[in-house]
Structure 1
């Protein structure tokens, strides 16, 4: 490394650009202009004498050096946050649980099975259809539809997930179509044609519409069976059936708060 000074603020900006995948999104979260961020990233690369990003029209993609820097400084950031947190929160461990819409819905509905008034753990639910990075600590516990292959992850197989159509007794024979990047939304797009009552861009909205008797929603059976107003109005869709895996970092699995939550979540899914 040369004798140029590294501005620690540039490292904070690097974290934002790396996580957002581009300058425009990072500009919104950092309140800096894209031009300023681009200039600061170039300066950081010159000082560190390594290329951190591949720059494309579609955004900023991390190089191997960039990925290594992101992982190291994510851990440093977490340590700094723990050390500087107010005493009232510093003693309460935070566990971020990442899951899709439906699994998050179940976890929230059965929060009583995950925590108790005596529990010292603060749970943060992160509802995302995309997979968040556990190595970068975007989540501590995550749900996956396939067994992970990364060496640093450990997993536990949960009950199998199945999908079926649900509606109220007198609902019209029309589908609620979901516009989203999910396998179930893809099946609806291929299978129901124009036999629809409306479209939604949030899977959860299809449940709300079905409960109100507006049409047929394609739901995981663990969600549809939870609501007594809804009836199965067709067979399970075999091509959408899949195993579900509970995943965490191998370094976190022995933390008391993580170990306890993994056991409680596993018990919850044994009921469905």
Structure 2
């Protein structure tokens, strides 16, 4: 790779596009326009003599060469971040945590316990229903619904999660449907199809509508039972019950800031459940 032709800035933009899955979401992260990113990615491909993306209407799909490049650049990015970290007690290392909507709500509610008092880590929460790639360092710590199978990942079992229907006592007996690629959303889709009082793309909006008395929301019991005014309708749904695991990379879990954060997360969930 000729460093006179290929700059780190272009490679950094490549990482943003690769991780976001397209130009538009990467533009929101980088502050560059989609058109600018498109030109930079095309120029990068030409400079490197490689095809990095398969372009289609749904976004930019990585080629096999690009996936390997993303992995290698992720490692370089982590090394640069650690090497260039300023000395001094006032510097708080960044720990990125990914979790679904409902777990993120719990984490944000207990933020002061996770960050430390006084705070000694800088937390970045990535709330996403999709599973972010810990092996590529998209995040450092992730919450998962099963034990990790990748040997490069370490897991710690946190809790048993159950789901049930919740609504206000006076709410109509009609479901609020979440349109998402989650087991609970797919279960409800199979059950009711299009027969819903409303469809929402964000799981959090189903809770908002239930609190407003508009219908019945399918919620994890650790969320539904905390909501003043909501009551559980019926038994928990056995086929949606699952374990919850805290997962990190084997190489990262012994870093002081990661180790501290993991222990605090475990304590928060031990008390909360």
Q: For the superposition of Structure 1 and Structure 2, which TM-score range results when normalised by the shorter chain?
A: 0.7 to 0.9
In 2, Cα distance between equivalents of 1:3 and 1:251: 29
Task: State TM-score, norm by structure 1.
Answer: 0.85
Change (3 A) 1:53 1:106: same
- CA deviation string 1:40-76 (max 9, x = no partner): 1322322xxxx45252535443344432322222233
Structure 2 counterparts to residues 1-272 of structure 1, below 5 A: 5-23=5-23, 25-26=25-26, 29=30, 30-31=32-33, 32-33=35-36, 36-46=39-49, 51=50, 53=52, 55-57=54-56, 58-81=58-81, 91-192=91-192, 196-270=196-270, 271-272=272-273
Is 256-265 or 122-131 further displaced after alignment?
Answer: 256-265
* CA distance in 2: counterparts of 1:170 and 1:20, whole angstroms: 42
Residue pair 1:92, 1:121 contacting (<8 A) in 2 also? yes
**Count of residues in Structure 1 that have an aligned counterpart in Structure 2:** 268
Distance 1:9 1:173 in 2: 54
CA distance in 2, matches of 1:34, 1:244: 37
**1:158 partner SS:** strand
Q: Which runs of 5+ in 2 are unaligned?
A: none
SS in 1 for 2:160: coil
Q: Distance in 2 between matches of 1:233 and 1:124?
A: 35
The more displaced of 56-65 and 110-119 is: 56-65
Listed one character per residue, the Cα deviations across residues 108-160 of structure 1 (whole Å, up to 9, x for unaligned) are: 12224323322311111110001111122211100111222112110011211
- Between stretches 71-80 and 116-125, larger displacement belongs to 71-80
Question: d(CA) in 2 for partners of 1:33 and 1:66?
Answer: 20
User: What secondary structure does 1:106 align onto?
Assistant: helix
Q: Relative to 1, partners in 2 of residues 1:256 and 1:87: Cα closer, same or farther, differing over 3 Å?
A: closer
The DSSP-based 3-state class of the residue aligned with 1:91 is coil
Q: Work out whether residues 23 and 37 of structure 1, in 8 Å CA contact, stay in contact via their aligned partners in 2.
A: no
SS of the residue 1:160 aligns to: strand
**Counterparts of 2:194 and 2:16, CA distance in 1:** 42
Distance across 2 between alignment mates of 1:102 and 1:240: 15
Q: String of CA shifts for 1:136-188, please: whole Å, max 9, x gaps.
A: 22111001112221121100112111100011222222221212221111122
Q: Where does structure 1 lack aligned partners over 5 or more consecutive residues?
A: none
